Amino acid sequence: MACREVASEVVLIDIKEGLSEGKMLDMYQCSTLMDFDTKVVGATNDYKTTANSDVVVITSGIPRKPGMTREELIGTNAGIMKGVIENVIKYSPRAIIIVVANPMDTLTYLALKASGLPKNRIIGMGGALDSARFKCYLAKATGANINNVDGMVIGGHGDTTMIPLVSKATVNGVPVSQFASKKKLEEAVANTMVGGATLTKLIGTSAWYAPGAGAAMMVEAILNDQKKMVPCCCYLDGEYGQKDICIGVPAIIGRKGIEKIVKIDLTKEEAEKFAASAEAVRKTNNILHEIKAL
């Protein structure tokens, strides 16, 4: 966000003493080298420094370790999310909130219910990241320039719940099926679905760069009122045949947050996968009640 100068000020807050201050000092020292002049501030557990934020990005929680699923994080991260939400609302009552923490769909749902904010102001980031990973693997499969590749991932932000939409994927408007075999495209889908787990295994913790860029893109779409269509985690109230759930679908993102949920035609197989994905997300949501987070 600082490098792209999407905001006049970026505040980083963490509970670990000195971490945010150190990160932000490091960033500030590279500002002349990277040619940006965004004001950057770091603070240890002091939400007053975030007061009157337009957008808040929540990454709080323990990260995944190798072999760990996003769903296994829920007990610890649900408690952290409730505490963070309380402080965010206290100091920035008009903020639009982007949830990155995992399990993302369930924590987005928790953030919505715990905050009492309208559904347009709570957005989960998963689909933006998953779609970027899908485009990466499509570019590898087709040999195309990655910036000519378009693809979308909907459904839950989980290794078994996300749905990369091959039927909608293109290279500069031309279906990817004209550039890659069915087998290669199936491999691209499979690699996308374990994209996060692959990185966790390789580097020993959750990914950094692509999730950060995904969040920055969404913040920019909000602050600049770009009306950009982004696959992201939204609260559904009848759309796609689902109610009372936060799950990934394409939406128009602008100054009001989620401004419109976009209904796209799914194949029968895609629709069935989406229903199954929603059911899996609901099961994880039910744990919130079991642990009395809701």
| Binding site feature residues for NAD(+) | 14, 77, 100-102
For residues 132 and 125, give the distance between their C-alpha atoms in angstroms, rounded to a whole number.
Answer: 11
In terms of Cβ atoms closer than 10 Å to its own Cβ (0-12, 13-18, 19+), residue 116 is: exposed
Q: What is the DSSP secondary structure assignment for residue 262, as one 8-state letter?
A: P
Tokens of 127: 């689909």
Enumerate the known binding-site residues for substrate.
64, 70, 102, 133
- CB neighbour burial string for 67-95, b if at least 16 within 10 angstroms, e if fewer: eebbbebbeebbebbbebbebbbebbeeb
User: Under 8 Å CB-to-CB from 166, ≥6 apart: which residues?
Assistant: 151, 176, 177, 185, 188, 189
Catalytic residues: 157
Enumerate the known binding-site residues.
14, 64, 70, 77, 100-102, 133
Q: How far is CA 231 from CA 11, 91, 125, 162, in A?
A: 26, 29, 8, 11
